[in-house]
Structure 1
Amino acid sequence: MKLDVLNSKILKCLQENARLSNAEIGRRVGISSPAVSERIKKMEDLGIIEGYKAIVSPYEIGYQLKAIITLRAFMGKLKPFLEKVKTYDEVINCYRITGDENIVMEVVLKNNKHLESFIDQLITYGESKTQIVLSRVIKQKEVAPLK
């Protein structure tokens, strides 16, 4: 599906605030609420809109650290790790990548002791490198439709 101007505007509204009513989105983009609903449903059905969720601040619920951890998996350990990583509550994002490392993870942790314990779990799968996140420069930007 090629996105038209209206669908692009609807996506922008939803990415800024997914709790906007269809009526409000309609006012912003210049179409009726039922038309917005129909377009959103079609984009959901096509997989353009993957879902909706609340974005929670890890710091406000008790996590003191956020880190980026890369992993270079040992021979034969990548596939087992790809299954195991799904069970780690600490991992909030995980990517399989090209280059020297195989995996990049974004993790949230209670404190330094929790970080140490988590790294100890990774040792059986490969060599890890950890960078502590000091601050976020860009907060989950909207994905702009291709032109």
Structure 2
Amino acid sequence: MNLDLIDRKLLYHLDQNARQSISQLSKKVRINKNVALYRINKLKENGIIKGSFAEINNFLLGYNTFRLFINLGNASQSKQQQFIDHISKNNNITWFSRVIGRWDIDILFMTKNISKFEDFRKKLFLEFNDIIENFEITILSKIEYYPKNYLLKEPKASTKSTILDVNSNSSYFPDAIDEKILQHLTKDASINIVDLSSRLKISINTLKKRIKNLENEKIILGYRLFIDPTQFGYEYYKFHFSIKHYNKKRLDFLKSWIASQDYIIYIDRYIGGADFEIELMFQKESEYLEFDKKFHEEFGEIVRDSYLLKFYDLKIFKYLPETNN
């Protein structure tokens, strides 16, 4: 689907706040409310808007997120499908995608109990060790979100929002009702407040206060869109690199340079694996090649290793593990 500037502005502003009203949105884009609603519905019908979700700091809820990269051998299609089915049915998997590059599979496993991940890993490797050729396990420590300026084709904004950080702290401890609220909002950020209060069987005022508390305590960090960029010509990549022989000044410049790039949407940090993982959106391979050239020209002397992954066939994406709530 070809998007015009109005479509792109709608996506951009909704991604900044997926819970805003049509009136608020139409004022920002400077179009009629009915036009805005019609265009949003068309974007949904065409598979560009897949949904919306609350972006939360899972660390403040007591979760650890393990990332598992896997290389598969020359397995039959039926064996690969068994592998996919095995992973897909686990409620703690919050991200599962196939990738092209150094690895074949990318999995995120979120849990409050580390032994739960170890149990999953042991069972997975016991059943599929005949096709698992190599793997890498890392622990998520920080994610920085950047506005999706590629939608507007405008220069990168300087603002950023830290989504998850191991150094986060809060005196607020979410209870069972808060976690139920988060379960709903991470599945549908645009859910009507009346509908949500009815489902949770609490008053509207109580619900509003609880959501406000979760926002103020930086547990809820924003309300985003789940956009499928492949429907309008973009591909999703992740650039991994590790560095060597650097000082603080050089490191700070590296971080600011990355943040200034137009294609960046997230910067991820993991304990183990690459030092930096940069999530990018490109329309053409030539755009990546130009980015890679500029990067190595600027920082080649401190880059120890780098590689690119291209994501496809996303199977699972959610911000909290499934519960019985």
Q: TM-score range by the shorter chain?
A: 0.7 to 0.9
Alignment of 1:1-147 (within 5 A): 1-63=172-234, 65-76=235-246, 77-99=250-272, 101-123=274-296, 124-125=298-299, 126=303, 127-139=305-317, 141-144=318-321
How far apart, in 2, do the equivalents of 1:17 and 1:100 lie?
32
How far apart, in 2, do the equivalents of 1:60 and 1:132 lie?
16
In the superposition, relative to structure 1, how do residues 99 and 32 fare at CA in structure 2: closer, same or farther (>3 Å)? closer
How far has the Cα of 1:28 moved from its partner?
Answer: 0.8
Larger relative contact order (Cα-Cα within 8 Å, sequence gap ≥ 6): 2
How far apart, in 1, do the equivalents of 2:286 and 2:228 lie?
21
Q: Is the 8 A contact 1:122 1:128 kept in 2?
A: no
- Superposition RMSD in Å: 2.0
Q: Is the 8 A contact 1:66 1:107 kept in 2?
A: yes
How far apart, in 1, do the equivalents of 2:257 and 2:316 lie?
29
How far apart, in 1, do the equivalents of 2:209 and 2:258 lie?
37
How far apart, in 2, do the equivalents of 1:99 and 1:48 lie?
25
Provide structure 1 residue ranges, at least 5 long, that are not aligned to the other structure.
none
How far apart, in 2, do the equivalents of 1:88 and 1:15 lie?
28
Q: Is the 8 A contact 1:22 1:34 kept in 2?
A: no
In the superposition, relative to structure 1, how do residues 101 and 142 fare at CA in structure 2: closer, same or farther (>3 Å)? closer
How far has the Cα of 1:50 moved from its partner?
Answer: 1.0
The secondary structure found in structure 2 opposite 1:60 is: helix
Q: Which moved more, 1:16-25 or 1:87-96?
A: 87-96
How far has the Cα of 1:29 moved from its partner?
Answer: 0.6
In the superposition, relative to structure 1, how do residues 34 and 59 fare at CA in structure 2: closer, same or farther (>3 Å)? same
How far has the Cα of 1:138 moved from its partner?
Answer: 1.9
How far apart, in 2, do the equivalents of 1:114 and 1:66 lie?
12
* 1:16-46 deviation per Cα after TM superposition (whole angstroms, max 9, x unaligned): 1111121111111111111110111111111
The secondary structure found in structure 2 opposite 1:53 is: strand
Provide structure 2 residue ranges, at least 5 long, that are not aligned to the other structure.
1-171
How far apart, in 2, do the equivalents of 1:98 and 1:78 lie?
17
Identity of aligned residues (%): 21
